């Protein structure tokens, strides 16, 4: 069985480098030294290099990355550059980026570039709403297939899929149920095994995100059989973040 993974997505927080260092060090200070659970924090780009040096226990990741290595792409930061400063994970296709115009085709190029640069890509997928006719399943299938188009089975050993229903993300939302996650993860696994074969497809970890916290984490792991979490708000609270890591280490 592969290791559980807990990934914190700090989004555009906190406001200053000083606060980021404090939050990161505070988080690192709470986490047990045993490496039962893989722990990753994805801060804003410009804090990455500094934070990476604070703790050996926590790996750092980026929240995005551009697919071309260098060139005339004003305002972009390439995956190769991020790897060079120590990022080893990258969140790709987060719904907040898709809401700003990122397409499946962009995400597909980014996943390919991340694999080429030796990252562990964390590909986010999720529907914006559910409907009685289960159209959302078709949406997920299409989204997943488009984001993974042209990727071969021998390059997906590190790939992680984060199922994050958009309706479950952020302030005021409620999480999916562990049963809903389980059903979706079986569906995703089937698509992955059809595409990459049972062996390679079966190794791809599927994690949950969207209002996951220390209260529902246990059930997502036990009932939902989640391989871990992508956490937004809970990752900004060292105690909550650590509690979720602890729970993942016990199940
Ligand atoms: P949330 O965000 O945990 O604050 O709902 C999750 C995410 O956007 O990755």
pLDDT tens, position by position, 221-241:
999 999 999 999 999 999 999
Indicate which residue of 38, 127, 143, 164 is catalytic: 164
Q: Whole-angstrom Cα distance, residue 59 to residue 203?
A: 21
Write the CB contacts of 246 (distance below 8 Å, at least 6 apart in sequence): 32
User: Ligand 1: does its nearest atom lie under 6 Å from the Cβ of 232?
Assistant: yes
Q: Whole-angstrom Cα distance, residue 25 to residue 36?
A: 20
174 noted as active-site residue: no
* 73-to-26, 52, 65, 78, 185 alpha-carbon distances in Å: 36, 26, 12, 9, 36
User: Ligand 1: does its nearest atom lie under 6 Å from the Cβ of 237?
Assistant: no
Q: Could you write out the DSSP letters of every residue in 65-97?
A: -BSSSSSS-TT--BHHHHHHTT--EEEES-HHH
State which ligand 1 atom lies nearest to the alpha carbon of 11. 8
* 38-to-2, 29, 33, 213 alpha-carbon distances in Å: 10, 16, 11, 17
| The 3-state secondary structure of 186-223, one letter per residue | HHHHHHHHHHHCHHHHHCCEEEEECCCCCCCHHHHHHC
164 noted as active-site residue: yes
Do the strands 120-125 and 89-92 form a parallel or antiparallel pair, or are they unpaired? parallel
Tell me the three state secondary structure of residue 23.
helix
pLDDT grade for 33, boundaries at 50, 70 and 90: confident
pLDDT grade for 34, boundaries at 50, 70 and 90: confident
Asked if residue 140 lies in contact with residue 184, where contact means CB atoms within 8 angstroms, the answer is: yes
Confidence at residue 205, expressed as pLDDT on a 0 to 100 scale = 98
What total number of domains does the chain contain? 1
CATH number, domain at 237? Answer: 3.20.20.70
User: Ligand 1: does its nearest atom lie under 6 Å from the Cβ of 164?
Assistant: yes
- Domain span holding position 197: 4-250
Confidence at residue 173, expressed as pLDDT on a 0 to 100 scale = 94
Q: Could you write out the DSSP letters of every residue in 106-122?
A: HHHHHHHHHHHTT-EEE
Task: Say whether pTM exceeds 0.85.
Answer: yes
pLDDT single digits (tens) 43-85: 999 999 999 999 999 999 999 999 999 999 999 999 999 999 9
């Amino acid at each position: 069985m592969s290791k559980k993974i807990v990934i914190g997505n700090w989004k555009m927080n906190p406001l200053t480098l000083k606060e980021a260092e404090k939050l990161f060090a505070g988080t690192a200070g709470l986490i047990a030294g045993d490496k039962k659970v893989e722990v990753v924090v994805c801060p804003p780009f410009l804090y990455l290099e500094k934070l990476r040096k604070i703790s050996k226990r926590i790996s750092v990741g980026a929240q995005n990355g551009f697919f071309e290595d260098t060139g005339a792409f004003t305002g972009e930061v390439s995956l190769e550059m991020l790897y060079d400063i120590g990022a080893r994970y990258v969140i790709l296709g987060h719904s907040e980026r898709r809401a700003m115009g990122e397409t499946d085709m962009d995400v597909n190029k980014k996943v390919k570039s991340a694999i080429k640069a030796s990252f562990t890509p964390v590909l986010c997928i999720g529907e914006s709403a559910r409907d009685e006719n289960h159209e959302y399943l078709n949406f997920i299938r299409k989204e997943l297939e488009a984001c993974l188009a042209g990727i071969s089975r021998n390059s997906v050993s590190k790939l992680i899929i984060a199922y994050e229903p958009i309706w479950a993300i952020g302030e005021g939302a409620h999480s999916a149920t562990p049963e809903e996650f389980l059903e979706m993860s079986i569906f995703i696994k089937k698509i992955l095994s059809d595409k990459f074969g049972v062996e390679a497809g079966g190794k791809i970890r599927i994690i949950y995100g969207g209002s996951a916290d220390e209260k529902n984490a246990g059930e997502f792991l036990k009932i939902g059989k989640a391989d871990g979490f992508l956490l937004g708000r809970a990752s900004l609270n060292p105690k909550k973040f650590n509690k979720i890591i602890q729970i993942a280490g016990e199940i």
